[in-house]
Amino acid sequence: MTSAIQDMSSVELLSPTGQLRLARPGPTEDAAVLQNRTHPGTRKYLKFLPEHLTIDEARQLRESRARDSTMVDFNIHLITDKEIGTEVFAGTTACFNINETFKSCEVGILIAPQLLRGGIATEAIYTVLRWIFEEKQLHRVTFETGIDNLPMQRWLEDVAGAKLEALRRECWRNVDGTYTDVRGYSILDLEWNESVKSRLEAKLGLKNRTRKSGCQYRFAGLKIREFKADLRLLQYME
């Protein structure tokens, strides 16, 4: 590996609104990651993920992925109160299959099901793509999603403007032995600069945005700040 994606052990990304912090995984979040990866809402479209995972297996997974030089994992933290610095675990995202020769990688994301449809995924992916294209200077990013995952397909096509480039038949082997067809999408650095970045910024309301204090994400139709007590339970997802 060359220096472009080397020494990522301490990298930390802050989203443009300052409401998401993306940091490398640590042992204190293994339980949250475990719950997120095995949650029925997560496995709905990712049936190859295990139904059960022990805390020791979660630790081993984190450590093995950290040793993989073609992968950079981030845990997503939702900042619920900027003034006192409280935050909750909101999911994971990763750059993997990093190829320095061809300047490419794949991006995946798992938002905690309890926090879906609040704009977190869009802002987290925007933050990662900005890092990949503008700081790490990669040329190409790919995404894969199951043929049955229509929400992710709509997001990639209608929100991000990613290009559909592949249909891989029976690509993912599921836990029950069946297979899932997969759609492959890509974004090039030129497309990021010319259209994708501005599309995501418009979706996030970053243009002519009036900065406000506190967290403005929506959860079940209400502001997340009104659910601080409930959200603390999600920090460890136990």
Q: Residue 172's closest CA among 199, 196, 144?
A: 144
Q: Residue 8's pLDDT is what?
A: 61
212 is written with which tokens? 């406000």
Residues for the chain: how many in total?
238
The DSSP secondary structure of 62-78, one letter per residue, reads: HHHHHH-TT-EEEEEEE
Q: Could you tell me if 76 and 22 are in contact, meaning their C-beta atoms sit under 8 angstroms apart?
A: yes
Q: Residue 5's pLDDT is what?
A: 52
One-letter amino acid at 4 equals A
**In this structure, how many other beta carbons lie within 10 angstroms of the beta carbon of residue 83?**
7
Q: Which helix (H) or strand (E) holds 107?
A: strand 104-111
Range of the domain at 54: 3-235
One-letter amino acid at 35 equals Q
**In the block, residue with structure tokens 């090039």:** 188
Q: Residue 116's pLDDT is what?
A: 86
Q: Residue 233's pLDDT is what?
A: 33
Number of domains into which the chain is organized: 1
236 is written with which tokens? 């460890």
Question: Angle 238-41-12 (CA atoms, 0-180°, nearest 5)?
Answer: 65
Q: Residue 9's pLDDT is what?
A: 64
Q: Could you tell me if 118 and 15 are in contact, meaning their C-beta atoms sit under 8 angstroms apart?
A: no
Which pTM does this prediction carry? 0.85
pLDDT by 10-residue block (mean), the chain, 238 residues = 54 94 97 97 96 97 96 96 88 97 98 90 98 97 98 97 98 98 98 97 79 40 37 34
CATH, residue 179: 3.40.630.30
Q: Residue 10's pLDDT is what?
A: 77
Q: Which helix (H) or strand (E) holds 203?
A: helix 197-204
